[in-house]
Structure 1
């Protein structure tokens, strides 16, 4: 059964459980987190400071629970508290969080012309991947090869974090002997069989030379070469991948693309971070 949204202006029953489950999606909702988001959303939309007791009544949250959540949000600098009026409002810290998200999106847009120039120069399709949480990567920008026969990669495409050439780069930061990672690897639907032993060798080679290759395992007939974009702290948050048809480059040509991507990613890091 689809979930329905509740009118935020209507009184609701006090909290009776820490978690709820969306049966259709199989997702678990943590009640305090959900209530914190509802409070932030309400304060952002209201535009005027409000008392804790009024927030609890309007949102249908237990008053003591609402007060404790507000105190935590004040400590985290996303909600401001006026001790004279005893009222709460959206804080500067919340605006800074939003600003960081917008800035990151703008920086990805700034990277687009650079990806297009690289795609034209190498005559391959170039994609920019971003890590999304602990187990997924997503294409946030893509530039197709300007040739008549080309490979199109859709922005927004998501993959398991271990998959493809980019996955091998993220895997260089993981313990591939860990049971959960082995299980995640076995759950991936590869285009052709890929033993974990061979994958480990690919990851070790990627760590050694600074770029990785997926030779038809992600998609039959497709070869991908990827290099990491390091953040100032040394993490791999983005990767750039060159996507081409198998046989389109010989071994020397593949290595040349790999080295080119490493140099390109070093320059791209100045745009993305």
Structure 2
């Protein structure tokens, strides 16, 4: 690591320990041997072993004797839950919402679950453009509706998803709504693959929506960040660009709130 004014006070062993924990917190690298971890993080193997040994003694990592690999330890769950309790997430999320509106030039909202089968706008950021749509905080709608609904359902336990769709169905809001279950599930596959969902006049005529999920440590959507505007004023290329913008912002927000740095498609 190059020396700068900011990192000259850093302790290398503590920095390495932090990077090891971050590495093991990712879904892709949830287990790793000493060799795998040391090579991935460019840490000397003997140093890596000593750090892992120390972390294990403090229950921050667990060593699995049968496979000779390490994973996060039980006490990390305690720390994560406590940190989540202390984080006032909405002011932080609103910072990213402002960025989303500025970068897309459209109205943007944060959406959460409301009860078992509905969603609700919990915060909004108006578009800086002269022509925009009006959104109201507190407005609610079915969990299966629009790009927001696709995000929540895509990152949901299969049985819970099946139960919700069985209860409320796939309502035909417009003539462009995807109401066939098989086709709808293919849409959810795309959401997990790309990290964002698109609705082109599927919930309201003349409106488009793009949403990306904020995931918690269990890979479930706790909220979505969505961009909404007039469908006649955008191309599909632009809509996908908005999806990428929102995806980058929600990944950063997920990491900041829950330590989640990437999506798992499993």
The TM-score normalised by the length of structure 2 is 0.58
Q: Partner residue of 2:124?
A: 142
Query: 2-side partners of 1:243 and 1:271: how far apart?
Result: 24
Query: 2-side partners of 1:133 and 1:201: how far apart?
Result: 26
Taking CA–CA contacts closer than 8 Å with sequence separation of 6 or more, which of the two structures ends up with the larger relative contact order? 2
Q: Partner residue of 1:208?
A: 193
Kindly indicate whether the alpha-carbon contact (under 8 Å) linking 1:137 and 1:158 is maintained by their aligned counterparts in 2. yes
Q: Partner residue of 2:111?
A: 129
Between stretches 204-213 and 106-115, larger displacement belongs to 106-115
Bigger radius of gyration among the two: 1
Q: Partner residue of 1:258?
A: 243
Q: Partner residue of 1:184?
A: 168
Which segments of 5 or more consecutive residues in structure 1 lack a partner in the other structure? 1-96
* Cα deviations by residue, 1:155-189 (Å, 9 ceiling, x for unpaired): 11112111110111122225488465234124x36
Query: After TM superposition, where is structure 1 displaced by more than 6 Å over at least 4 residues in a row?
Result: none
- Structure-2 change in CA distance of 1:174 and 1:159 (3 Å): farther
Kindly indicate whether the alpha-carbon contact (under 8 Å) linking 2:199 and 2:210 is maintained by their aligned counterparts in 1. yes
Q: Partner residue of 1:195?
A: 179
Q: Partner residue of 2:147?
A: 165
Is 1:113 matched with 2:95? yes
Which segments of 5 or more consecutive residues in structure 2 lack a partner in the other structure? 1-81, 259-266
Tell me, what secondary structure is at the counterpart of 2:222?
strand
Please state how far the C-alpha of 1:271 moved relative to its aligned partner: 4.8
Kindly indicate whether the alpha-carbon contact (under 8 Å) linking 2:151 and 2:191 is maintained by their aligned counterparts in 1. yes
- Counting only pairs closer than 5 Å after superposition, residues 87-98 of structure 1 correspond to structure 2 as none
The TM-score normalised by the length of structure 1 is 0.56
Query: 1-side partners of 2:135 and 2:192: how far apart?
Result: 25
Tell me, what secondary structure is at the counterpart of 2:233?
coil
Tell me, what secondary structure is at the counterpart of 1:149?
coil
Kindly indicate whether the alpha-carbon contact (under 8 Å) linking 1:128 and 1:141 is maintained by their aligned counterparts in 2. yes
Aligned residues: 173
